[in-house]
Structure 1
Amino acid sequence: MDSVQKDEIALKILRELLQYRRRFPGGDTSIAEEEQRVTQVQLPRIRAFIENEQRIEFVLPAFPTKSPNTNKVIGAVPDMAERLSLIFLNSLCQRIQLYYPPGAHIVICSDGHVFGDLIRVSDEAINHYQREIEGLLHEVGATHLSVFNLGDVKGLAEHTDDYDLLRRLLVDGYAESEEAIKQQLMQDEQGLLLYRAITRFLYEDSQLPGYSGSNAALQKDAKQRACGVIQRSWAWGNLLAQHFPAAIRLSIHPQPVDSLKMGIHMMPTKDDWLTPWHGVAANVNGQFVLMKRKDAQSLDGELVEIRGTPSHYLIEQPQMA
């Protein structure tokens, strides 16, 4: 394979990813301009794998645990939203292998235990969710995917009976102070968008059935926790960069165009921040899309069960003439 062919393959792989890139809403630059800048960052990294005839390795911090808010999700275990997302990720690698024989592999770096206490989901619930994800990988035949979590980190694995200690060790070893992170977030619009999005997730996840307090109290609490979630998330990213230094870094959030990370969608959705664990799969006239549970219900969605377990919604809408 000559140099021109290697360049063409690298660009083809990048274009596969760009089709699904998450963007910050309301940006001033065009998609073409953004993709040009993303290409400047990502193409040399992809090209390095091809130059060495290596399997392309991606890391994706994702699939932490289900949101506790039943206005957003069906339940606490993976459902059709996760199933379709894993199938998509595996098929992405399969498509790459069609024209690049060494292929591609995505390491799903499950981050539920990284901030479980801050999102107020128990470590037991996170363990159960992660076991179900691993079972789902086998069930759908996702041979191009694997899972890596906090308990797999060398030097930390012996502490999996104490996740609070694991989280402290992660922060001590890989995180900046919350104050330093807050200053970074306030420096540009994209940092503010991230902070607001995480605050919104935490606020919505706190609006549980039976809550009788004020929304203002929930909002204040969410703001206080948001910076800690971002601190832990960035610490996890720093750890992954150390463990997988050459890997192409994917994300489930929109990312700046000059970042080493690229946000990708795993399912069609109108919300650039929505994820399978904060929403439900809805089959709308034969096309699966991702939305919040309350939105599926407002469209008169019918809950579908598979083997007795709630899976997704079926929505029939009038076709346009």
Structure 2
Amino acid sequence: MPLTTAPDPRSTGISAAILRLLLPYHRTTDHAPATAEAFRHQRRRIDGFVHDGEPVVFTLPGFPCKSPNPAKVLGHLPDQGERLSLTFLQSLCMDIERIYAPGARVVICSDGHVFGDLIGVPDDHIDAYSDELRAVIRALDLHHLSVFDLRDVLGDLPHDTQRARVHDQYAPTLEALRAEVRADAHMLALYRGITRFLVEDTADFTGTRSALQRECRKRAYGVIQRSRAWGALIAEHHPRAVRLSIHPQPVGAAKFGIRLLDAPDAWTTPWHSAALRDPDGRWTLMPRARAERLGRLVHRNGRPSHFEGAETRAAVNRWRA
């Protein structure tokens, strides 16, 4: 009869406590609240680090680049939305350190170059965005965070060559992906959400609205293919890590969706919006065009940073409704 190893109650208890720290920030479209016990995949990963007495490593694909639509963002470089989000991730790691001495770290897997040709953002803007992320992390001493991108894997190869290599090696076929979207409600929601973002982010299309939607539906499949490819590459380079996601995820999924800042819906991110602070000091993400109507623009180090709202939180909530 094969020998079995009983779970370490201490490790399991610490893992559950770490998950409970994450739960208030779970980004999901599910309505019922979930307990730590519902996230068995994440608990197994965290258990492995705790059992070995090592820092828990989280990987978070995201922070790619700013939206190319000037009605949504303040420019092509990180601003207060990113600073707040990075600071939040640092504070989450520090909270984990208070209950588990080895602590945690987050590897931000900046994926702008993976999608640049599909989302209409120049590669030099993506480089500048990723470089500035690293500069912000250094300047704010966010020592629990690091940035990983295609340059860490494929060096100085031309960006188109990098994209082609990752796609060819890791991406699922278009036929398989279409079948999955037809069969799975979560995948359908993801496909529709990405299509919506592509439509909103296209600022210079000269054709009809229906033609734009057709083109964006096609590009959405490409974005999901590349996203899958990037996820497989990350898993290869960080095989033990706990996978976070900026997209909503169902309870119990292999990825844990995480909300970085307050926003009007589960899909809004700092790179698709601007940050507004209300008179009570609370922050909300929203499109730049709307934030301009609720507050005044604030510059930091000579660059647009965020908006300071003269309106009360009640007024912001009325806009959100």
Partners of 1:240 and 1:230 lie apart in 2 by 15
Partners of 1:220 and 1:36 lie apart in 2 by 42
Asked if 1:290 corresponds to 2:282, the answer is: no
Partners of 2:203 and 2:296 lie apart in 1 by 23
Partners of 1:177 and 1:3 lie apart in 2 by 41
Asked if 1:91 corresponds to 2:91, the answer is: yes
Work out the number of aligned pairs and report it.
307
| CA distance 1:4–1:170, change in 2 (3 Å) | same
Superposition deviation, residue 318 in structure 1: 4.0
- 2:203 is aligned to 207
Partners of 2:90 and 2:101 lie apart in 1 by 15
Summarize deviations over 1:222-263 as a string: whole Å, max 9, x none: 111000000000100011111111100001101233321111
- 1:6 is aligned to 11
| CA distance 1:98–1:319, change in 2 (3 Å) | closer
Partners of 1:126 and 1:259 lie apart in 2 by 30
Partners of 1:293 and 1:214 lie apart in 2 by 24
| Cα contact 2:78–2:132 (8 A) shared by 1 | yes
Query: How does 1:103-122 map onto structure 2 within 5 Å?
Result: 103-122=103-122
Asked if 1:47 corresponds to 2:47, the answer is: yes
Summarize deviations over 1:142-162 as a string: whole Å, max 9, x none: 100111111111xx32xx241
Asked if 1:80 corresponds to 2:74, the answer is: no
Match of 1:18 among 16, 23, 28: 23
| Cα contact 2:276–2:285 (8 A) shared by 1 | yes
Superposition deviation, residue 212 in structure 1: 4.5
Partners of 2:9 and 2:264 lie apart in 1 by 37
Summarize deviations over 1:52-81 as a string: whole Å, max 9, x none: 111111100111000000111111110000
| CA distance 1:279–1:319, change in 2 (3 Å) | closer
Superposition deviation, residue 119 in structure 1: 0.5
Aligned-partner residue type, residue 17 of structure 1: L
- The alignment partner of 1:31 has SS state of coil
- 1:255 is aligned to 249
| Cα contact 2:60–2:244 (8 A) shared by 1 | yes
How many percent of aligned residue pairs carry the same amino acid?
Answer: 46
- 1:30 is aligned to 32
Summarize deviations over 1:276-295 as a string: whole Å, max 9, x none: 10011110221111111122
- TM-score when scaled to structure 1? 0.91
Query: How does 1:263-282 map onto structure 2 within 5 Å?
Result: 263-282=257-276
Partners of 2:214 and 2:140 lie apart in 1 by 41
Asked if 1:239 corresponds to 2:233, the answer is: yes
The runs of at least 4 aligned residues of structure 1 exceeding 4 Å deviation read: none
| Cα contact 2:34–2:251 (8 A) shared by 1 | no
Aligned-partner residue type, residue 109 of structure 1: C
Aligned-partner residue type, residue 296 of structure 1: A
Partners of 2:200 and 2:105 lie apart in 1 by 33
Partners of 1:86 and 1:103 lie apart in 2 by 17
Query: How does 1:302-321 map onto structure 2 within 5 Å?
Result: 302-318=296-312
- The alignment partner of 1:19 has SS state of helix
Range with bigger deviation, 116-125 or 253-262: 253-262
- 1:198 is aligned to 194
Structure 1: state its 5+ residue gaps: none
- The alignment partner of 2:109 has SS state of strand
Aligned-partner residue type, residue 201 of structure 2: D
Superposition deviation, residue 36 in structure 1: 4.4
Partners of 1:243 and 1:307 lie apart in 2 by 36
Give the superposed CA RMSD. Answer: 1.7
Range with bigger deviation, 286-295 or 240-249: 286-295
Partners of 2:313 and 2:183 lie apart in 1 by 46
- The alignment partner of 1:305 has SS state of strand
Partners of 1:192 and 1:146 lie apart in 2 by 32
